Structure 1
Amino acid sequence: MISCVDHMLDMELASPLGERILVPTHLLYRSHDPLAVQLLFQDGSQDLVPWVFARDLLAAGVQTLSGDGDVQVWPAGSGPEALLHLLLSSPHGSARLTASLPAVERWLRCTYQLVPAARETEALDLDTHLAQLLDGAP
């Protein structure tokens, strides 16, 4: 059974000096964590820098400005050239990235085919998570 949906794409990072830097990005969704999406960014040393946030935030963000915390997402334009903007903030700084909106929407639709929104809580393995919490495991 398929348990994840992943996709590779290049995002553009806007540097403080106005440069556009391509950042290879792995979009990852796993059915055992049905409420979250992961973006894994490759840095210059080939290490992966993960960002995990709510799938419903991304789903809302492909339509309109969403998020008011460390992740903000919004669309720009229409058609095949439309862009998705992401503003990621941490105590160490922030990054503004853009990606192909149609590519992200296609991937997002696949995540909902794997685990529909109405079935997200059914896919959660709450017993395992609770047992780990009570046993002190990470």
Structure 2
Amino acid sequence: MATKRSAWQLLEGHAYSATVDGRVSVGLGYAADDPYAVHLIVSADATAASCWVFARDLLIAGLTGTAGQGDVLVGLQPGGTVVSVVLRNGRDVLGIDLPRLPLCRFAADMLAIVPRGSEAGHVDLDAELRSLLA
């Protein structure tokens, strides 16, 4: 039996900014070979998308409170059913409201693949060093 090495979740959310107010598609990705990171892909239409990479612990903490500073903030909204993700690129700010329950399932999948505290065992430091020196 193969061991699960990645998790993926597709969601519909509501995005808002100075120029955007509408539905967006959001993809979340996680892989055991990059155990500290989660990938968030945002697309308002089928032609363009942006990918943000941030700490998985930031997403997990934002499911029960507010977490982050700088470029990515994640926080549970009053009522407990919506999690807001705020993305800043230095010039623009985009907020995305997402349903909490699918995010919790995604977090559970991440933790089943790589439990907290075991992340370092999934990183091949020698390979990373070789790629940096190549």
TM-score (norm 2): 0.90
Structure 2 matches for 1:1-138, cutoff 5 A? 1-16=3-18, 20-78=21-79, 82-135=81-134
The gaps in structure 2 that reach 5 residues or longer are none
- Counterpart of 1:67 in 2: which secondary structure? strand
Amino acid at match of 2:132: L
Matched residues in 2 for 1:103 and 1:57: separation?
16
| Local SS of the residue matching 1:10 | strand
Contact 2:71 2:87 in 1 (8 A): yes
Partner deviation per Cα, 1:45-101 (whole Å, 9 max, x = no partner): 43331010000111111111111110011101346xx10011110123110110001
How many matched pairs?
Answer: 132
How far apart in 2 are the matches of 1:100 and 1:45?
21
Paired AA for residue 130 in structure 2: A
| Structure with a larger share of its residues in helix | 1
Deviation, 1:126, is: 1.2
The alignment yields a C-alpha RMSD, in angstroms, of 1.6
Q: Tell me the CA shift for residue 21 of structure 1.
A: 0.9
C-alpha displacement of 1:3: 1.6
Task: Tell me the percent identity.
Answer: 28
Q: How far apart are the structure 1 equivalents of 2:112 and 2:79?
A: 24
TM-score, length-scaled by structure 1: 0.88
**CA contact under 8 A between 2:35 and 2:122: conserved in structure 1?**
yes
Letter in 2 for 1:63: T
In 1, distance between residues paired with 2:6 and 2:90? 30
Question: In structure 1, how many angstroms separate the alpha carbons of the residues matched to 2:50 and 2:16?
Answer: 17
- Asked whether the equivalents of residues 17 and 93 of structure 2 are also in contact (C-alpha less than 8 Å), the reply is no
Matching residue's letter, 2:16 = A
Q: Which amino acid aligns with 2:131?
A: Q
1:44 to partner: Cα distance? 2.7
